[in-house]
Amino acid sequence: MKVVITSKENNINSLVDPRFGRAAFFAVYDTDTDSIEWLGNDVVDMQHGAGTGAVNLLANLGAKKIFAVAFGAKVKPLLDELDIQMVIVKENQTVANIIALLKK
């Protein structure tokens, strides 16, 4: 299963990025292979609809679960419709922490 974690930097010790649509990076963690792919967020500079753009990107990757500090009002119904689980985490979490929790 592919799981996405918003991330400030493209390394495992980075803190989660508090923004969803405008997160600097998305860590795409595959629970089956225990591998991480780092995606730079190319919609981060969009004036409008960064959240929708991010949903389009991540849904097409096959993400089933997204960890972020907050999800915007336009994003929630889309993720619900796409059956992608939203998991809200605290800002002081690192990507490594969340992956460790997933492995438990």
Residues that bind another protein (CB under 8 A): 43, 46, 48-50, 52-53, 55-56, 59-60, 62, 74, 78, 81-83
CB 53 within 8 A of CB 22: no
Whichever of 46 and 86 has its CB closer to another protein, that residue is 46
Q: How deeply is 65 buried, as exposed, middle or buried, from its count of CB atoms within 10 A (0-12, 13-18, 19+)? A: middle
Of 62 and 91, CB closest to another protein: 62
Kindly state the smallest distance separating residue 61's Cβ from another protein, in Å. 9
Question: CB-wise, 12 or 46, nearer to another protein?
Answer: 46
Nearest residue (CB) to another protein, 52 versus 94: 52
Min CB(80)–another protein separation in Å:
12
Interatomic CA distance for residues 84 and 55, integer angstroms = 10
96's CB contacts (< 8 A; 6+ apart) are 12, 13
Backbone angles phi and psi of 19, in degrees to 5: -95, 145
Please report how close the Cβ of residue 21 comes to another protein at its closest, in angstroms. Answer: 9
